[in-house]
Amino acid sequence: MEKDLGYRRIQSTGRGSYIISLPKEWVQSTGMEKGSEVAFKLKEDLSLILVPSKMIEEKVSRTKPEIKEYWIHVNEKDDHKTVCREIISLYVINADLIHVHFSNNNVSEHKAAIKDLIKTILLGAEIIDESQNVITIQILINHPAFPIEKAIRRMVILALSANEIAVSMLTGKDEDINRVIEYKNDVSRLNLYVVRQLKFGLERASFTELGLRNPKEFLGYRIVTNDVKGIADNAMVIARNIANSKKMVREQMLFIKENIDEEVYTQLLEINSKAHQLFEESIGAMFKRDYGHADKIISETESLAKQELNLTTIILSKKLDPIVSSIYSLILDNSRRIIEYTVDISEVTLNRTIEEVVERNRISHN
């Protein structure tokens, strides 16, 4: 319940500082005295909340971290993929402990799937207890040890590496697909971790702890992680298509009329490399809150999109082998998507910084 304590006039000390007297009734009711400290909390609407430090300390000492514990009950009819999806969902909503209880003894397939999920997908998750009928999973990692920005930057490195390897498989080794799979799985793990941390921040309104300036930025970060994951997913599609095509040629199930067209392949690599560069720059601009750089990146993607369109025309005009042409088109579509992701992230930067830019311009013109 709110209580109106009237108004207080702001006074100047003459040294660039401002002071205001506190209501005597409020000071006495909180048990404060001369020398006591008061915490100031700035709200989004620029209003202030004053909290005696003594109250904060008492609240912290009373509050124990709540352990979020869940049970999943599995019977013989449940598909192991369904169980894994349940575990992933609980991971994302910040579960601390997940107990998986099996109602029958024939659980080897379920257990193997769960262990593989923890090993390849769930960052910071470990099996801390296991019996014939129960597996207990604990999520050990917390956000201060691995901040969101660091996780996203790692995702970018892995996703672009997977993409580069996949494209190079056209002239490289089929075994390289294993590296693409490894990097793609690592990106998926980090993506789920970032989503988990964003959910944690939303629940506790602790956006500043995650390096954000206001709650609106949660959506922007979610867009970014989706786009980075999209690059890794595209890499997997390219790698599988190239590997399958080369296998069918070796087994004489497919016949290719001509080898790789050097002109087309060189331009493909050039466009893909430039798309990678702009994507990395868009991530850097976002974390630096650099409006000008983000705007410049969008302009640069427009010229790259024209280059991509010109190469499409060249591919069609050459009347290449259909198999080779389809792989070229797949790689080119991949570059096009990276360009689109770059624009998405640059627009996130523009949207999260435009108010700051307008305010700076207003001050500079006054």
> Tens of pLDDT along 91-118?
998 899 999 999 887 788 899 999 999 9
Overall average pLDDT of the 152-177 stretch: 91
145-364 has the same fold as 69-139: no
**Ranges of H-type helices in the chain:** 24-29, 53-62, 80-92, 108-120, 148-168, 177-204, 217-250, 262-288, 291-317, 322-364
At residue 316, the pLDDT reads 85
pLDDT for 137 beyond 70: yes
Overall average pLDDT of the 125-145 stretch: 85
What is the CATH code for 145-364? 1.20.58.220
At residue 64, the pLDDT reads 54
pLDDT for 184 beyond 90: yes
- Return d(Cα 363, Cα 356) in angstroms, integer: 11
pTM of the model: 0.75
**355 — pLDDT class (breaks 50, 70, 90):** confident
**258 — pLDDT class (breaks 50, 70, 90):** low
Q: Which has more pLDDT, 343 or 40?
A: 343
β strands within 1-103, DSSP E: 11-12, 18-19, 38-42, 48-52, 69-74, 97-102
- All structural domains of the chain with their residue ranges: 11-62, 69-139, 145-364
Q: Which has more pLDDT, 90 or 175?
A: 90
| Spatial contact of 152 and 224, defined as CB atoms under 8 Å apart | yes
Q: Torsion-angle region of residue 38: left (phi > 0), alpha (psi -120 to 50) or beta?
A: beta
Overall average pLDDT of the 162-186 stretch: 90
pLDDT for 337 beyond 70: yes
Q: Which has more pLDDT, 289 or 38?
A: 289
CATH architecture of 69-139: 2-Layer Sandwich (3.30)
Question: φ and ψ at 12, to 5 degrees?
Answer: -105, 140
CA end-to-end span of the chain: 42
Overall average pLDDT of the 78-85 stretch: 93
Express each pLDDT in 207-218 by its tens digit. 777 777 777 788
At residue 134, the pLDDT reads 92
